[in-house]
């Protein structure tokens, strides 16, 4: 055991990467490593990378340049690069940044301690990838930073081929976990104080097809209902083509699955959707929205939209705008398209000039802001239950809670604000070391007052991004 050793992890990108980083941290802590806040204090520095964002590789090499300066001072520092960009660039990373010690894939996370050991023994960089998922990362020890919420991966990889997306080539085909394993993990998490879980997968609605011959996502949602201590279940991301009535009915029936659906639209033009290989049309998307809203009372709907996909005409963009006006999403993540190396779309003709993309993006953002504001204003005067997340990022005198519909509400709770931090109860390293079965532990950080508790609020105000509330 390396009891005195320390680690630092920087995570880029999506929730799946956050989930994987919790496992990387858990593996290191089982080996006796301790988390530190800055790389200059660390014996191991891990970059868990993302290949989706623009200029991801430039940013990685920038970060690796900074870490080289740290390694110049501390030559014993071991630098690890994992995640999707490591999958995409593999040996290039060691060639461009020879001070990197380990480059590893997304399907062999469990190998981190052994790879570090090999570097110690052999003194040369190690590059290791696996074409198959030998161990589901969820089955590995985890170190969570949040005591009431946990990410739970139900599926890895993706069988689709959206032309703008790098995920299938860096994360491989879909691999689902067995329902019993997922339920076992959630039960253990709840026994450890977790009350909210977010199920993760690239295409959760096709969950189970690879191992049960038919999608089992609705069954999974229903099976989670009734686990002792579990109060809220969220999930991300569904693909509209696979979002079907049984899942909507399971959402409506379950007492723990939240009334929030994030259904990525990407474009309101059937022609562009075809170029994106999304396998649904504008009309099919609208049908799914109508079905979900009819079955799930009080549903909040959010989405992702890409503006300026190659070949998008003004008429195509007008279709996106009109769909946004028709559906009235509660909120939307909107993206300006830019080519991502390694994707089919990056090689397409008819790339749209950046100034046209930006101009369309601004029009879309303006419309969505107005709609988000109107939808939030419609809740003024209502009573809502929120799960407290902690102090508001903008105003530390206020707390922030989240409704079941995934809306943020800022409010004042005089008993909690200014109460300082409470000592953490039952923090987890000892438990993590002792129990690979439970295999999850919260950080040793102090507890945040009110965090993970429910409050009932009256909504008193609204903005496009959040609501204001009054404690009742
Ligand atoms: S469904 Fe499409 S966008 Fe989502 S991960 Fe798979 S290929 Fe990428």
Sequence-distant (6+) residues with CB within 8 A of 99 are 64, 67, 68, 71, 79
Q: Is the minimum distance from the CB of 262 to ligand 1 under 6 angstroms?
A: no
First to last CA, the chain: 51
Which residue spans of the chain are classified as CATH 2.40.50?
Answer: 383-471
Residue 421's H or E segment, with its range, is: none
The answer on pLDDT for 195 being more than 60 is: yes
**Which residue puts its alpha carbon closest to atom 1 of ligand 1?**
160
Residue 157 to residue 202: CA distance in whole angstroms:
6
174 closest CA partner among 133, 235, 224, 128: 133
Q: What is the pLDDT of residue 429?
A: 31
Atom of ligand 1 nearest to the CA of 277: 2
With a 6 Å cutoff on the Cβ, whether 171 touches ligand 1 is no
**Run of H or E including 34:** strand 34-35
Q: What is the pLDDT of residue 418?
A: 54
Cβ count near 251 (within 10 Å): 22
Question: Would you say residue 442 has pLDDT above 70?
Answer: no
Of 300, 296, 286, the closest CA to residue 332 belongs to 300
342-358: average pLDDT = 94
Strand-by-strand arrangement of the 300-307 sheet: 260-262, 300-307, 331-336
User: What are the residues whose beta carbons fall under 8 Å from the beta carbon of 387, sequence distance 6 or more?
Assistant: 148, 195, 196, 231, 232, 401, 402, 452, 453, 454
Start-end ranges of CATH 3.40.50.12160 in the chain? 6-128
Confidence bin at 416 (pLDDT 50/70/90): low
Q: Is the pLDDT of residue 417 over 80?
A: no
- Average pLDDT of every residue of the chain: 89
Contact 171, 158 (CB under 8 A): yes
**pLDDT for residue 376 is more than 80:** yes
As annotated, the residues of the chain forming the CATH 3.80.30.20 domain(s) are 137-377
pLDDT greater than 80 at residue 356: yes
> What pLDDT score was predicted for residue 432?
36
Q: Identify the CATH number of the domain defined by range 383-471.
A: 2.40.50
Separation CA 419–CA 412 (nearest Å):
12
Mutation test residue for ligand 1: of 50, 160, 344, the one with most atoms within 8 Å of CB: 160
Quick check: 368 pLDDT over 70?
Answer: yes
The pLDDT value given to residue 104: 95
pLDDT of residue 171: 83
Per-residue pLDDT, averaged over 123-143, amounts to: 86
CA of 167 to the centre of ligand 1 (A): 6
Strand 196-200's sheet: what is its strand order?
149-153, 196-200, 232-236
403 to each of 189, 265, 300, 321, how far by Cα in Å?
A: 21, 23, 10, 27
Which residues face 266 on adjacent strands? Answer: 305
Handedness of CA 125, 432, 237, 210 (dihedral sign): positive
Whole-number Å distance, alpha carbon 384 to ligand 1 midpoint, is 34
Nearest to 150 by CA among 380, 406, 362, 441: 441
- Who's near 186: CB < 8 A, 6+ residues apart? 152, 194, 197, 224, 227, 230
Residue 445 has what pLDDT?
52
160 C-alpha to center of ligand 1: Å? 6
Q: Confidence class of residue 172 from pLDDT cuts 50, 70 and 90? A: confident
Question: What pLDDT was estimated at residue 134?
Answer: 77
Outline where DSSP puts E strands in 117-271.
126-128, 142-144, 149-153, 155-156, 175-176, 196-200, 232-236, 260-262
Peptide bond into 224 cis (omega under 30): no
- What is the pLDDT at residue 446? 52
CB 174 within 8 A of CB 60: no
- Section 335-340 average pLDDT: 91
pLDDT digits (tens, 9 = 90+) for 262-282: 999 999 999 999 999 999 999
Tell whether the model's pLDDT for residue 443 goes beyond 90.
no
Residue predicted with more confidence, 341 or 430: 341
Cβ atoms < 10 Å from Cβ of 168: 17
Distance (Å) of CA 238 to CA 200, 205, 298, 434: 10, 5, 19, 36
Q: Does 293 score more than 50 pLDDT?
A: yes
CATH homologous superfamily of 137-377 equals: tm_1862 like domain (3.80.30.20)
Residue 295 predicted with pLDDT over 90: yes
Mutate to test the pocket of ligand 1, among 50, 53, 202, 265 (most ligand atoms within 8 A of CB): 202
The pLDDT value recorded for residue 196 is: 97
Interval 427-456 mean pLDDT: 56
**Architecture of the domain delimited by 6-128:** 3-Layer(aba) Sandwich (3.40)
pLDDT of residue 126: 93
Q: What is the pTM of this model?
A: 0.87
Q: Give the pLDDT of residue 394.
A: 82
Mean pLDDT over 359-373 rounds to 98
Helix (H/G/I), strand (E/B), else coil: 77? coil
Give me the pLDDT at residue 440, please: 56
Q: Which two tokens stand for residue 18?
A: 């956050």
Is pLDDT of 354 > 60? Answer: yes
Burial grade of 437 (CB within 10 A; 0-12, 13-18, 19 or more)? exposed
Question: Which residue, 295, 459, 260, is CA-closest to 378?
Answer: 459
């Amino acid at each position: 055991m390396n009891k005195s050793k320390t680690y630092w992890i920087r995570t880029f990108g999506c929730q799946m990467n956050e989930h994987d980083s919790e496992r990387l941290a858990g593996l290191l802590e089982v080996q006796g490593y301790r988390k530190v806040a800055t790389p200059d204090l660390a014996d191991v520095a891990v970059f868990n990378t993302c290949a989706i964002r623009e200029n991801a590789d430039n940013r990685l090499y920038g970060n690796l340049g900074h870490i080289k300066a740290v390694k110049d001072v501390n030559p014993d520092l071991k630098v690890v690069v994992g995640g999707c960009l490591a999958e995409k660039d593999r040996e290039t990373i060691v060639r461009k940044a020879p001070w990197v010690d380990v480059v590893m894939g997304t399907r062999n996370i469990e190998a981190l301690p052994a790879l570090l050991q090999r570097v110690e023994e052999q003194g040369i960089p190690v590059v290791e990838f696996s074409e198959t998922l030998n161990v589901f990362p969820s089955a590995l020890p985890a170190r969570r930073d949040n005591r009431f919420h946990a990410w739970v991966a139900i599926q890895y990889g993706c069988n689709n081929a959206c032309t703008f997306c790098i995920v299938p080539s860096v994360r491989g085909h879909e691999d689902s976990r067995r329902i019993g394993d997922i339920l076992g993990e959630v039960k253990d998490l709840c026994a450890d104080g977790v009350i909210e879980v977010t199920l993760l997968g690239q295409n959760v609605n096709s969950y189970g097809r690879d191992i049960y011959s038919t999608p089992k996502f609705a069954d999974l949602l229903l099976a989670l209902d009734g686990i002792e201590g579990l109060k809220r279940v969220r999930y991300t991301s569904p693909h509209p083509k696979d979002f079907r009535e049984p899942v909507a009915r399971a959402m409506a029936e379950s007492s723990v699955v939240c009334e929030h659906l994030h259904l990525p639209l990407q474009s309101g033009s059937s022609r562009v959707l075809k170029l994106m290989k999304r396998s649904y049309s504008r009309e099919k998307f609208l049908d799914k929205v109508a079905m979900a809203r009819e079955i799930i009372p009080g549903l909040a709907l959010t989405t992702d939209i890409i503006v300026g996909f190659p070949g998008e005409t003004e008429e195509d963009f007008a279709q996106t705008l009109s769909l946004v006006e028709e559906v009235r999403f509660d909120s939307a993540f909107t993206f300006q398209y830019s080519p991502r190396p390694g994707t089919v779309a990056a090689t397409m003709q008819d790339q749209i000039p950046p100034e046209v993309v930006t101009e369309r993006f601004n029009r879309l953002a303006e419309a969505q802001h107005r709609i988000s504001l109107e939808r939030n204003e419609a809740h003024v005067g209502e009573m809502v239950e929120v799960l407290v997340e902690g102090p508001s990022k903008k105003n530390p005198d206020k707390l922030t809670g989240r409704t079941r519909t995934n809306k943020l509400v800022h409010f004042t709770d005089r008993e909690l604000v200014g109460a300082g931090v409470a000592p953490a109860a039952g923090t987890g390293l000892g438990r993590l070391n002792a129990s690979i079965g439970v295999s999850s532990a919260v950080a040793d950080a102090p507890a945040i007052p009110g965090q993970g508790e429910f409050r009932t609020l009256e909504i008193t105000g609204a903005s496009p991004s959040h609501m204001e509330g009054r404690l009742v």
